[in-house]
Amino acid sequence: MDITNDFELTKELDQKYCMQVFDLLPVAFTHGKGVYLYDQEGKKYMDMIGGIAVSSLGHGNKALTKAIKTQADKMIHSCNYYYNINKSELAYKLCKISFADKVFFCNSGAEANEGAIKLARGYFYHKGINRHKIITAKNSFHGRTMGTIAATGQEKFSKPFAPNVPGFEYVPFNDITSLKLAVDGNTAAIMLELIQGESGVRPADYEYIKEVRDLCNRLGLLLIIDEVQTGVGRTGKMFCYEHYDIKPDIMTLAKGLAGGVPIGALLATEEVASIGFEVGDHGSTFGGNPLACAAGVTVLNEIGENALLGNVNNVSDLLFSKLSDLKAKYPVITDVRGKGLLIGIEFAGALSAKGLKNQLFTMGYLVSSIGDSTIRIAPPLIISEKEALSFIKALETILKGKKKNIFGR
């Protein structure tokens, strides 16, 4: 069976044999180059969502594909009974560029967050202190496993799967008073995203995060920062916590770290890692496998060698400035939020985010819609200014065409 160029059959097999948990657009991609993806008929799309902040180096990056091919030729897997060259190198590099002293590798963002929750609870358990509660934010998103849907402050993700894992409490984001009130003698950690990506690209306030760090220091709580979406250059710094002039005790990474090869990472200080996990406390069959770690090493090298953080900041400035011009011209845009190349554009009620996403799709631009009113862009870090401008032009074409309808309602 060769279904490579047969979209209808691809769709039929998916609908018949894959669990239907995704809301799919009518397309299947065969390959990509740079910021572009190509479908089965050869139509070109600009990937302004980067596989949801994953394809950090874009598609078909030569250094990345070479590293993956070379490693695949040598050995894909050995297992965690043995030392692993690529794992050692990636852990070393991550520690050198971050607050962390120790890394644990796994396969996804949710798995990294599961590890973070276990590490925080293990830290107090091994110290003989009875503290287990983890406070997270309302509208947060930390993953789809049983532990991470319990950590996620949005009931819609956990309701059908009750009972929830106990020991989590949710407080309004950016509200230090509520957070202080929620802390009690059982509290082990505060777990936050610095930009709530899945609920509309909502950044944390600088002062709030400073106060959260101070609170943790004063009360001996651990600060877990979920950088699954914001990490590895996405916001214009290597890690988003650098924008806030704080250091976490535990941080999780995934998405962009290996440019599309599944990986997750749990990073912590020496103190937390050495107390929180003893030998045998945690593990993962695939975690840290040589293939994913070879990809991770290459992503970090490419970000450094090609000055990609500079590019993220330049293109980000351009996008924010053009989007703010559009906002001034078309009041249907009510807000533009985010940092670096993680941007949410919010629209007033008349224009549905899903409708806009679909229109951009028919014009050859891929974005995601969040809720009813926001579209999110998270393009590859290699996107050029010219490419970014082409997206702005496409968006304006839609806004112009819609102008009458929107304001007529």
Ligand X SMILES: Cc1ncc(COP(=O)(O)O)c(C=O)c1O
**Contact positions vs ligand X (CB under 6 A):** 108-110, 113, 141-143, 193, 197-198, 226, 228-229, 254
Nearer to ligand X, 198 or 346 (CB): 198
Question: Least Å distance between CB 52 and ligand X?
Answer: 6
Nearer to ligand X, 189 or 398 (CB): 189
Positive or negative: CA dihedral 98, 102, 107, 109: negative
CA distance 187 to 263: 29
Given 87, 99, 104, 226, which residue is catalytic?
226
Active site residue 237: no
Question: Least Å distance between CB 168 and ligand X?
Answer: 15
Active site residue 226: yes
Quote the tokens at residue 229. Answer: 């979406």
Nearer to ligand X, 86 or 108 (CB): 108
First to last CA, the chain: 51
Question: Least Å distance between CB 290 and ligand X?
Answer: 20
Given 99, 104, 124, 141, which residue is catalytic?
141
Question: Least Å distance between CB 18 and ligand X?
Answer: 17
Nearer to ligand X, 109 or 332 (CB): 109
Cβ proximity of 365 and 261 under 8 Å: no
The residue nearest ligand X at its CB is: 109
Question: Least Å distance between CB 291 and ligand X?
Answer: 17
Nearer to ligand X, 375 or 394 (CB): 375
Active site residue 141: yes
Cβ proximity of 253 and 112 under 8 Å: yes
Given 255, 322, 339, 357, which residue is catalytic?
255
Which residues carry out catalysis?
A: 141, 226, 255
